[in-house]
Structure 1
Amino acid sequence: MELIYRQLQKHELSEIIPLMQKFTNNKHSDALLIERFSEMFEQNYECIGVFSDNVLIGICGLWFSTRHYSGRSVEIDHVYIDDNYRSKGVGKQFFSWIYEYTKGKGCEAAELNTYVQNHPSHKFYYNEGFNILGYHFLKKM
């Protein structure tokens, strides 16, 4: 299976939102996701898509910043691969592409968050060489 990776643009939100709805289990309305993604595209954010036969089968967000503990880094966010393409090496290939792409942008480190109950992702990220450094806390204002 040949995979193509490319940065998605704000005008492609109609392709991004259906995958994000699957990622969030339809937790938010399309309108809210469009509003939030539109704002995200104005920040240090890129949305990357993975395509098979010109069909968008996966996405992830990349947030770029410099951190005191890791230097120039990328935070890999909302990684989603369509159910039909899981356990076929797509995630591993996607992450290999992400590492090369972000190294080319000067990143020295990659970090991410994953939900506590998402055990399959934990195994995947351990196998990718990620280590747990702490807890992610959230407080709604």
Structure 2
Amino acid sequence: MKMIAVAETDDEIQNCYAVMAELRPHIKAGEFLPKVKRQAENSGYELAYLTDGEVKAVVGFRISEWLSGGKYLEIEDLVAKSGERSKGYGGELFDWLVEYAGENNCDHIRLVSHVKRFSAHRFYLQKRMDIQAHYFSMNLKG
């Protein structure tokens, strides 16, 4: 039976690792739990997951606020398990986030997607998201 939940316990967070590692392979298994917990404490990062017998999709997000745009939910990581993509799991998790954002009085949802992730762009556009800005970054560590 499908279920979506926020990962609250160490075990629930760690159970999200294998799917998240497909999107973030640079994060080692032993680093995952401490990173998630540190980000949760420092900036409100949360993980939610969809299970259907096992974890099928994971999303990392946080709720914050900007002077210019009000309160928002920012999606940082959204990934469905390899071999399980195009089965609607990511879409269900996204739709759950929309409800969650509304329940938390957010004015909008936002995310950053790498410029070359064309299938992700199609997905977000199909979910009625708009491209509203350019995102700039500067690597400070080589």
Same fold (TM over 0.5): yes
SS at 1:78's partner residue? strand
SS at 1:140's partner residue? coil
Task: Tell me how far apart the structure 2 counterparts of residues 127 and 18 of structure 1 sit (CA, whole Å).
Answer: 27
Question: Do the aligned residues in 1 keep the contact of 2:49 with 2:57 (CA within 8 Å)?
Answer: yes
Output the TM-score relative to the length of structure 2.
0.87
Q: Which residue is 1:104 aligned to?
A: 103
Q: Which residue is 1:16 aligned to?
A: 16
Which stretch shows the higher mean deviation, 11-20 or 90-99?
11-20
User: Identity, % of aligned pairs?
Assistant: 19
Task: Tell me how far apart the structure 2 counterparts of residues 64 and 140 of structure 1 sit (CA, whole Å).
Answer: 25
CA apart distance, 1:120: 0.3
Q: Render the CA deviation track for 1:20-76: whole Å, top value 9, x for unaligned.
A: 22112x2232233333212112131211011112x1111111211111232111001
SS at 1:122's partner residue? helix
Question: Do the aligned residues in 1 keep the contact of 2:75 with 2:109 (CA within 8 Å)?
Answer: yes
Question: Do the aligned residues in 1 keep the contact of 2:2 with 2:51 (CA within 8 Å)?
Answer: yes
Question: Do the aligned residues in 2 keep the contact of 1:114 with 1:122 (CA within 8 Å)?
Answer: yes
Q: Which residue is 2:78 aligned to?
A: 79
Q: Which residue is 2:139 aligned to?
A: 140
Output the TM-score relative to the length of structure 1.
0.87
Question: Do the aligned residues in 2 keep the contact of 1:3 with 1:50 (CA within 8 Å)?
Answer: yes
Task: Tell me how far apart the structure 2 counterparts of residues 68 and 126 of structure 1 sit (CA, whole Å).
Answer: 26
Q: Which residue is 2:62 aligned to?
A: 63
CA apart distance, 1:108: 1.3
Paired positions, count: 138
1:117 aligns with 2:126: no
CA apart distance, 1:10: 4.7
User: Which sections of structure 2, spanning at least 5 residues, go unmatched?
Assistant: none
